[in-house]
Amino acid sequence: MFRSLKFRFFLAFVGLAVGPLLLAALLVGNAIKDEETWHSRVILQATAERVRDGVRSLFEASRRDVQVIDNMIGIGLRADTRRYQVLQALLLRNKTFQTLRIIDLEGGTADVVSRSNMQPGLHSRLFRDRKGMASAIETGQPLFGGVRMDESLNEPLITMLIPLQMPITGQVECVMVADLRFKAVWDLLAHLTLGPGTQAYIVDEEGVVVAHRNPTHALQRKEAPVGEIGLAGAPVLRVRMPLGLAGAGLLVVVEQDLADAEVTIRRILNVSTITAVFFILVALLFFTYFVLRMVFPLERLVAASKQVGRGQTPETISVAATGEVRELIVAFNQMATDIAKARDLASLHAMELANKNLKLDADNLALERAEASLRQALDKVTLSNEELEQFAYVASHDLKEPLRMVGSYLQLLKMRYADQLDDTASEYIGFAVDGALRMNHLITDLLEYSRVETKGGELIPLPMENILQVAMQDLSVTIDEKGATVKVEGQWPVCEVDGSQIVRLFENLIGNALKYADEDRAPEVVVSGALQGDQWVFSVADNGIGIAEEFHARIFAIFQRLHNHDAYGGTGIGLAVAKKIVERHGGRIWVESCLGKGTTFYFSLPQAAAPE
């Protein structure tokens, strides 16, 4: 059953139709939930801003009224009838004020006017909040205290300290301390239009509710909950925002019952679920039709195919199918007939195929023998290369030793018998020592030339500019002695190279530029790089003596020199080594020069493959 075509199509139906629909419904539901939650938070944030702006506007009006006092009263610390009249007028003008006090800079109360006692009086009681008073004087801005409950009035008050300045000098002479009726904030919250399940309130820095549209919460000094539980004890969405009254430490809290916030979400999710179920039912109807019109004929076709596989000739399939299935059945019936004919032909070709297989086996055996011979030849070549390298090393060592001895003894002879030798003999000894040194350098260069291929390091990605800096550091003494200028220009990529060999390559080319400098001008060398197609091309240009065009190819051959040893030293192997290094890296080297107009050597390296 589980291997039947119907079951597989059912699994395909579930995987391609039902599964994606359910997944889409789940994703859409989550997206809708997130969107609605975000939208609810945006509304709560906007509500909190309205509360904050309303409260700040309320107290800003009180601050502006006090500023009117600042402009009208000549500030002095002695009782003044006109000043008391203005304070009384201010209490009558602004119902938010409960008590107005003028405090001198020492904290003493100069004047007090209260809504409960409109008669003026002079008091000497010290103001206790000296720290808040000093802060208000220092900043020159209003400072608020915490919300407190006045037991005599049975309503909350909040203190506002405002520094008052002399109109002429602009100096703070005293401080206005105003007790504001915080019940005005209760009234503001009571008239605020809120959404279903939403409430707004204000808490102090200790989390105690100090203002609510329901006065009971504020009168009971109820502590606001934290976490996901709201003031009513149910899960909520909550937004907190500082009220912005300096020194008061008050926060606006707006929260919405999570059940009310999720009503819209549940309604949309129900619609999405019903839509998904509808499409699943429609898909099921299409699946049933597909099984009846497609799967049953295909099962007949599968049974007939198994008969063909067992070497039997199946009966002609007759199924009332349509479309491609009918064409498939017709084609299968024709194929069954063709297979019966092909079996007869296959038996005729079987023997021919067996003969060809025998010949193929013989060819494979010969190929294996040839491969074995080739491997043996490669092993011999490898062994020969190793022996040749060993021979080169030993030969160079054996050649250097007698040359070193000849040079040493000739120098010893010259030192010990210098007073017995004439100038000609000393000159001959110098020639002999110089020849021995030149031969020693020649042997060393030959050994290096022979090891370019066999002793080269692994090609790894390296920054070409870093390699150039190493070569220039090695040549720094020569550059300073020549008074040369070496400029680096162009692009410097990362290439897959043998770092030590490329350092040697740059040293050869820059060293030649310094060696063959024109005596009439200071050497100038420009080293640059640029991408050309899929190759990086590097150049070393100088302003030296140049090379005649007919010698451009010759200079890269081993032991080829264009000048005698007395004029320019060297062994004639440097450029041959440079060519071999470049060719090992898959590039080429060439020169462009005119006699007396400087020389530019170019060499190319393949562009490094991009990392996978």
CB-CB contact of 603 with 538 (8 Å)? yes
pLDDT of residue 297: 67
| Distance in angstroms (rounded) separating the CA atoms of residues 100 and 174 | 13
Question: Residue 442 forms beta bridges with which residues?
Answer: none
CB-CB contact of 557 with 549 (8 Å)? no
Which helix H or strand E contains 559, and what residues bound it?
A: none
Structure-block tokens of residue 293 = 């019109």
pTM over 0.75: no
- Could you tell me which residues come within 8 angstroms of residue 301 by beta carbon, excluding any fewer than 6 positions away? 317, 328, 329, 332
**Per mean pLDDT, which of 212-216, 280-284, 300-304, 361-365 is the most reliable?**
361-365
What angle, rounded to 10 degrees, do the helices at 423-454 and 323-416 form? 160
pLDDT tens-digit map of 362-418: 888 888 888 888 888 777 766 665 655 665 555 555 555 666 666 676 677 667 776
Q: Which residues of 68-84 are buried (b: 16+ CB within 10 A; e: fewer)?
A: ebeeebebebeebeebb
Residue 611 pLDDT class (50, 70, 90 cuts): low
Distances in whole angstroms, Cα of residue 1 to Cα of each of 5, 8, 10, 302: 9, 10, 12, 15
Distance of CA 70 to the CA centre of its chain: 58
DSSP, res 421: S
* pLDDT (mean) for 423-450: 64
Q: Where are the beta strands (DSSP E) in 154-223?
A: 155-165, 172-181, 198-203, 209-212
DSSP, res 292: I
Q: Which of 91, 137, 140, 134 is nearest to 112 (CA)?
A: 91
Q: Which of 176, 179, 182 is nearest to 66 (CA)?
A: 176
CATH class of 1-309: alpha beta
pLDDT: which is higher, 391 or 266: 266
* pLDDT (mean) for 266-295: 70
Which fold is adopted by the domain 458-606?
Heat Shock Protein 90 (3.30.565)
| Distance in angstroms (rounded) separating the CA atoms of residues 370 and 364 | 10
Which helix H or strand E contains 526, and what residues bound it?
A: strand 524-532
Structure-block tokens of residue 171 = 């100096």
pLDDT of residue 57: 82
Please, how many CA atoms are within 13 Å of residue 562, restricted to the half-sphere of its CB? Answer: 17
Which helix H or strand E contains 303, and what residues bound it?
A: helix 296-309
In the predicted structure, residue 266 carries a pLDDT above the cut 90? no
DSSP, res 227: T
In the predicted structure, residue 569 carries a pLDDT above the cut 80? no
- Could you tell me which residues come within 8 angstroms of residue 7 by beta carbon, excluding any fewer than 6 positions away? 1
Mean pLDDT of the chain: 75
pLDDT of residue 525: 92
pLDDT of residue 2: 47
Lowest mean pLDDT among 329-338, 406-415, 536-545, 558-567: 558-567
DSSP, res 235: B
**SS3 state at 252:** strand
CB-CB contact of 175 with 163 (8 Å)? yes
Structure-block tokens of residue 101 = 């006090």
pLDDT of residue 201: 86
In the predicted structure, residue 436 carries a pLDDT above the cut 70? no
Structure-block tokens of residue 300 = 């007949």
Q: What is the location of CATH 3.30.565.10 in the chain?
A: 458-606
pLDDT tens-digit map of 47-63: 888 888 888 888 888 77
pLDDT tens-digit map of 193-208: 887 778 888 888 888 8
pLDDT of residue 217: 72
Q: Which residues of 135-149 are buried (b: 16+ CB within 10 A; e: fewer)?
A: bbeeeeebbbbbbee
Q: What are phi and psi of 571, to 5 degrees?
A: -110, -10
Q: Return the ∠ at Cα 315 (arms to 311 and 321), rounded to 5°.
A: 120
pLDDT tens-digit map of 463-519: 999 999 998 998 888 888 888 999 999 999 999 988 888 888 898 899 888 888 888
Q: Return the ∠ at Cα 255 (arms to 254 and 260), rounded to 5°.
A: 140
Distances in whole angstroms, Cα of residue 587 to Cα of each of 437, 498, 505, 578, 591: 33, 13, 13, 11, 14
CB-CB contact of 467 with 605 (8 Å)? no
- DSSP for 18-62, please give it: IHHHHHHHHHHHHHHHHHHHHHHHHHHHHHHHHHHHHHHHHHHHH
- Could you tell me which residues come within 8 angstroms of residue 502 by beta carbon, excluding any fewer than 6 positions away? 462, 464, 467, 581, 585
pLDDT: which is higher, 100 or 397: 100
pLDDT of residue 78: 44
In the predicted structure, residue 77 carries a pLDDT above the cut 60? no
Q: Where are the beta strands (DSSP E) in 361-493?
A: 460-463, 485-490
The letter for the amino acid at 542 is D
Number of neighbouring beta carbons within 10 Å of residue 262? 17
Lowest mean pLDDT among 112-116, 168-172, 245-249: 168-172
Length of the chain: 612
Q: Which of 408, 395, 391 is nearest to 443 (CA)?
A: 395
pLDDT: which is higher, 73 or 223: 223
CB-CB contact of 247 with 132 (8 Å)? yes
Paired sense of beta strands 485-490 and 494-497, if any: unpaired
**Per mean pLDDT, which of 4-8, 191-195, 311-315 is the most reliable?**
191-195
Lowest mean pLDDT among 64-73, 97-106, 139-148: 64-73
- Could you tell me which residues come within 8 angstroms of residue 275 by beta carbon, excluding any fewer than 6 positions away? 25
Residue 3 pLDDT class (50, 70, 90 cuts): low
| Distance in angstroms (rounded) separating the CA atoms of residues 99 and 186 | 19
pLDDT of residue 529: 94
In the predicted structure, residue 121 carries a pLDDT above the cut 70? no
Q: What is the location of CATH 3.30.450.20 in the chain?
A: 1-309
Place of tokens 């919460």: 217
